[in-house]
Amino acid sequence: MKSIPENVFVAMPKAELHVHLEGSIAPSTLVELAARHGVTLTPEETAPRYAPGTFAQFIENFIWITSFLRGPKDYALIARRFAESLQRQNVLYAEVTLSIGVMFRRNQDPAANFAALRDAAAEVPGVQLKYIFDAVRQWGAAPAMDVARIAVELRSPDIIAYGIGGDELGLPTIDLRPVYEFVAAQGMHRLIHAGEIGGPEIVRESIELLDVERIGHGIGVMRDERTMDFVAARNIPLEVCPTSNLRTGALARQIGRPTAGYDQHPLPSFFRRGLPVTLSSDDPSMFETTVSDEYRHAHQMGLTSREIVQLAEASFLHSFLGPTEKRAMLDKFHSGIAALGLV
C-alpha cells in the first residue's frame, strides 16, 4: 500500500461531524480561563485531566474542565481558538456539539453564551460552523427536554441539530422518546451518542425508538452482525472517533480486554462492510488528537489512499447541510483532493 505523506492529512480538505467545543480546550487555555476567575492552575494540576482513563473518569474530567466556562466571554475565547485550529487543518465545515445541558445545570444563559461563541468563531475565515445543542443523558429526560426547548426557541440556520451525549447507560432509551418526538415535530435533525460503551441493542433502540439520523460513536455494533446489517440497511451514519475510543477505554470495554489499540478498532471493517461511517476527533484537546491525526490513524489501520478520500467525502455527504450548501462544499472538497493528487 502506497503511503500518504504526513502533510497531506492536514492539507486535505475535511469536514468534521462529531466534535465537542468544550473538549477542544487546550491545557494552556484552561489555565487562562481559570486565571480569569481567580484560580491558579499548575501543569501538575491540569495534566491528570487530559490523561487516558476510564469512561467515568473522562466524564468527571469533562465536567471539571468546563467548570471554568462561566460566561459568554469564556465561550467566545474557546470558540475562536477552536475555529482557528480547524482553519489550520483545512477543515472547511464542522457540526459542533455544545453542552447546553451543562450551561443550564450551572444556571448560565445559553442564549448569551451561544451568541458570543457563534460570533467569535465566525470571525475566523475559511471555516463554516453549525451547532448541535446537546443534553446530558444521565441527568434525566426533563433536563433533556429543557435543552430541546431552547434549541427550538433559538432555532436559526446556525443551530442544525439536537443531540444527547453523556453516559448512555445512565437512562433507558425509551425515557427519551417524548424529547425526540418533540424535536422531530419541530423539524430539527436528531442524533445521539450510542454504542460507545453500550452494546448494539442501544444503537438499535436509538434508531427504532428515537428515529435518530446519525449515531455518535456506534462501535458497539461490532458485537452483533444483525445490528450492523440493520444500520447499513437504514443508512444511519456512525460518527467514529478512534482515539477517543482508546483514551476512554470504550473500545477495550467493547472487546472485553483491559486495553486496546488502533489495530483492534473496527473502523476498517465497518467501512469495508458498507456501513456509513464518518471520522472525527470527539474531544480533540482532551484526547491529544485532531481530525487530521484521525485520518493518519485510519491510514495506519490499513485504509488505502482511495479509501481515505472516500471516508473524508462521507463527512460532507452525511452532514445536515441542505442540498445546495452540500454541493458547494463537495465541489471544494473534490477540487482540493485533485490538487493534492489523491484521485
Give which of 194, 22, 178 is closest to 103, Cα–Cα: 22
Burial 182-221 (b: 16+ CB within 10 A, else e): bbbeeebbbbbbbbbbbbbbbbbbbbebbebbbbbbbbbb
Torsional class of 99: left (φ above 0), alpha (ψ -120 to 50), beta (otherwise): beta
Burial of 225 from C-beta contacts in 10 A (0-12 / 13-18 / 19+): exposed
Question: Residue 76's Cα: distance from chain center in Å?
Answer: 19
Q: What is the torsional sign of CA 46, 52, 54, 56? A: positive
The answer to whether the CB of 3 falls within 8 A of the CB of 64 is no
Q: How far apart are CA 338 and CA 335, in angstroms?
A: 5
What residues pair up with 131 in beta bridges, in sequence order? Answer: 96, 159
Kindly report the CA angle at 291 between 285 and 297, in degrees rounded to 5?
Answer: 105
* 292 in Cβ contact with 14 (< 8 Å): yes
**Cα–Cα distance between 57 and 109 in angstroms, integer?**
27
Q: In terms of C-beta distances under 8 Å and separation of at least 24 residues, what long-range contacts does 32-35 make, across chains too?
A: 32/77, 33/68, 33/69, 33/74, 33/77, 33/78, 34/68
Task: Write out the catalytic residue numbers.
Answer: 196
Residue located via cell numbers 450510542: 194
Burial grade of 306 (CB within 10 A; 0-12, 13-18, 19 or more): exposed
